Amino acid sequence: MAAVSGLVRRPLREVTVRDAINQGMDEELERDEKVFLLGEEVAQYDGAYKVSRGLWKKYGDKRIIDTPISEMGFAGIAVGAAMAGLRPICEFMTFNFSMQAIDQVINSAAKTYYMSGGLQSVPIVFRGPNGASAGVAAQHSQCFAAWYGHCPGLKVVSPWNSEDAKGLIKSAIRDNNPVVVLENELMYGVPFEFPPEAQSKDFLIPIGKAKIERQGTHITVVSHSRPVGHCLEAAAVLSKEGVECEVINMRTIRPMDMETIEASVMKTNHLVTVEGGWPQFGVGAEICARIMEGISEKLVLEYSQAVVNIMYLNTYSIKRLKARSGQTTTLNLSCVQFPGCSCCSCHWC
């Protein structure tokens, strides 16, 4: 314990990611009787990764439901229950197995609100471990952030630490849209400091809002899930070499918080994206594309406005400027050219 200004600062409580998710689900099950959990081994076995530990004993068979090994079947049951007014949490033992149920996730859950003209909502959470784990081979190691982030109708979140995990699972359960919660198996047992506000039953993290984990001025590093930790470690090393990285924890894949990312890149002028998925058509590729569309357009507009301001200098103003400066040569303000432009003599491309 350290004394600060005469006060004793107590160390923050540490909570694992596993227990943070468990706590979040427990609070929402207690808060709303329409919430229930179903999936393989989630009840009597306390979950394959012990994320649902103790929930079956507390809430019983009707709200914590063990299912057969049939993802298409129990995902369909969950979607139907959501359409009927309940709030199911559908656990996949790994998101690789969600491929068995992708018709229910996309065609039934994600598209129904649109296809019903906004009359039928589907408040459902699909959650489970995502991405590479230890020694489980290619069929159990895929990252589905880009897969599900591609699909309209879904919200997709990807927590890193315990605070993310609890706040996002609670927001996902309360949301009236289908939400995919991409956890990470290797993070379940990792403890993180748990701030007092996160221990509240009212604690929520808004979906669609990123968090700047580390302030910096030289380069923006954007990541989600487990790689956020790697980025912070790399930033600490680079800091010793005089390079200050701004590390952004995305938290949400869809809708993506481009406002936070763009503001950071405008400050640092450099961007690196880090993820656990494949590079082609990945989350990082989408961020880079949006940066080129968004920031580049802003810079061009700012440059164009500066050009317009110059062009609006009238002859009288130019003469006065020349007279004051003692300049005798003619000012040529009509030829303001963008790099690589050859469209016409005035260069208004």
Catalytic residue list: 71, 140
Residue with tokens 């999936």: 39
CA separation for the pair 90, 80 (Å, rounded) = 12
Residues in contact with 37: Cβ distance below 8 Å, sequence separation at least 6, in sequence order: 25, 29, 52, 55, 63, 64, 65, 88, 89, 91
Q: CB neighbours of 316 closer than 8 A, spacing ≥ 6?
A: none
Number of residues assigned to the chain: 349
CA distance 343 to 349: 6
DSSP 158-181: ---SHHHHHHHHHHHHH-SS-EEE
First to last CA, the chain: 63
Matching residue, tokens 């890193």: 160
299 three-class SS: helix
**Token pair listed for 348:** 């208004």
Tell me how far apart the alpha carbons of residues 187 and 223 are, in angstroms, rounded to a whole number: 15
Separation between Cα atoms, residue 129 and residue 181, nearest integer Å? 9
The SS3 assignment for 77 reads helix
Token pair 């004051």 is at which residue? 324
Cβ atoms of 60 and 67 within 8 Å: the answer is: no
Give the CA-trace dihedral at 313, 317, 321, 327, to 10 degrees: 90
Closest listed residue to residue 225, CA positions, set 186, 254, 262: 186
SS3 214: strand
